[in-house]
Amino acid sequence: MQIIQPHYHGIARTAQDYERMAMSGVVAVCEPAFWAGFSRKYPETFIDYFRQISEFEPTRAAEFGIRHFCWVAVNPKEAENPSLSRAVLEQMPEFFKKPTVLGVGETGLHKSSPSECEIMEAQAQMAIDHDQLLLIHTPHLGDKLHGTRRVLEILERMPINPDKVWIDHVEEHTIRMVKDRGYWLGLTLYPITKCSPKRAVDLIERYGNERTLVNSSADWGPSDPFLLQECILEFRRRGHALQEAIEIFYNNPARYLGQSPKFDIQPIRIEEIR
Amino acid sequence: MLSAPEVLDHYYLESRCLLLELAATLDRLDRARAGGEPDAVESDDRLQRIRASLTILADRDARADRAERILQLFSDPAEG
């Protein structure tokens, strides 16, 4: 089955990931800018990182026939440093001109501090001003519930088209508030700390697959890009049709990301030849 | 051997994850029952054992023997 992996941090992974993803049907990955595991000191470090994901990483993925797209942003954790963040934000619009940059992401919140909220709002405004897609990270673990509410409060003050916004890492206690407001939502599969493949399929069965993206992130920490394939297997083992799986794991990312003219992968339909 | 705070530090997230998976499984079962025949599994011994094991998990006076008690609960009686 053909798969689009909408959230993947390739710079933290080996080429073996790309090879195995290609062998398992992945045709495209999207790499949001994120926290590198340590907080950077210099705006230039971010700029080189943006160059890496918008210029170099596509060539690594292409070795295995995978299309690579990316997003640029100051992540929530480093937004705690507003002067550094503002310096990076000044240079972000240059990257919107690159052929594989889809928008602003992942911004959002980590601890929901005033600085994080300020920088998230500035980046959401930048997405509006430059007609870019917007990818919002919601906090981890115990910070998720109040952080997701705060994200929604910030967005609701802004003249933003919900269809252009993807709010990621929702779980059972946050999915309704995101879905009810018309945003795209992301179910992120992690071994321990976010959603599991089984719980993701539960959520799809309960709330439907509209405006829903499933991803397995994969970064420098304990994570596994193939939880996405495990989720597809779980979905199919429960008796759901192949075309339904394609709607969730290929067509939905194609629909959401395809709002950017740079993402030219179209939804597909399986037909028998008689 | 780890100290009690170390055990909590090491295994908190894993325990959270295991509890969530169990809760989601029971939710899945409840949804399936609501959508079909609610009594189809009510008398199933496996469901009774799962429910009984939850009582063992919640026993705050247990003497570090919950795993053993749950395995005994899930053990079939000897034949003959």
Q: Compute the distance between CA of residue B1 and CA of residue A18 in angstroms, rounded to an integer.
A: 40
φ, ψ of residue A187 in degrees (nearest 5): -105, 115
Residues B34 and B1 in one domain: yes
| Contact in structure between A77 and A35 (CB atoms under 8 Å) | yes
| A94 located within any domain | yes
**pLDDT tens for residues A83-138?**
999 999 999 999 999 999 999 999 999 999 999 999 999 999 999 999 999 999 99
Q: Domain range holding B3?
A: 1-41
State whether residue B54 sits within 8 Å of chain A by CB: no
Both tokens assigned to A27: 């045709």
Compute the distance between CA of residue A37 and CA of residue A39 in angstroms, rounded to an integer: 7
**How many domains are contained in chain B?**
2
Look at B24 and A196 and tell me if their CB atoms are within 8 Å: yes
Of A199, A205, A206, the CB nearest to B20: A199
Tens of pLDDT along chain A (274 residues) come to: 999 999 999 999 999 999 999 999 999 999 999 999 999 999 999 999 999 999 999 999 999 999 999 999 999 999 999 999 999 999 999 999 999 999 999 999 999 999 999 999 999 999 999 999 999 999 999 999 999 999 999 999 999 999 999 999 999 999 999 999 999 999 999 999 999 999 999 999 999 999 999 999 899 999 999 999 999 999 999 999 999 999 999 999 999 999 999 999 999 999 999 9
**Nearest partner of A188 among A165, A212, A161, A164, judged by Cα:** A212
Whether residues B37 and B49 fall in one domain:
no
How far apart CA A103 and CA A144 sit, in angstroms, is: 23
Task: Please tell me whether residues B48 and B13 are part of one structural domain.
Answer: no
Residues of A with CB under 8 A from a CB of B: 141, 172, 192-193, 196, 198-199, 202, 205-206
The reply to whether B21 and B50 lie within a common domain is no
SS3 of residue B45 by DSSP: helix
Residue A66 backbone dihedrals phi, psi, to 5 degrees: -100, 130
Expressed as residue numbers, the domain containing A244 is: 3-163+232-257
Buried b (16+ CB within 10 A) or exposed e, A140-160: eeeebeebbebbbebbeeeeb
What is the domain count for chain A? Answer: 1
Q: Phi-psi category of A269—alpha, beta or left, where left has phi over 0 and alpha has psi -120 to 50?
A: beta
List of chain A residues whose C-beta atoms are within 8 Å of the C-beta of residue B31:
205-206
Whether residue A205 is contained in a domain is answered as no
Most A CBs within 10 A among B10, B12, B18, B20, hence the mutation to make, goes to: B20
Is residue A209 situated within a structural domain? no
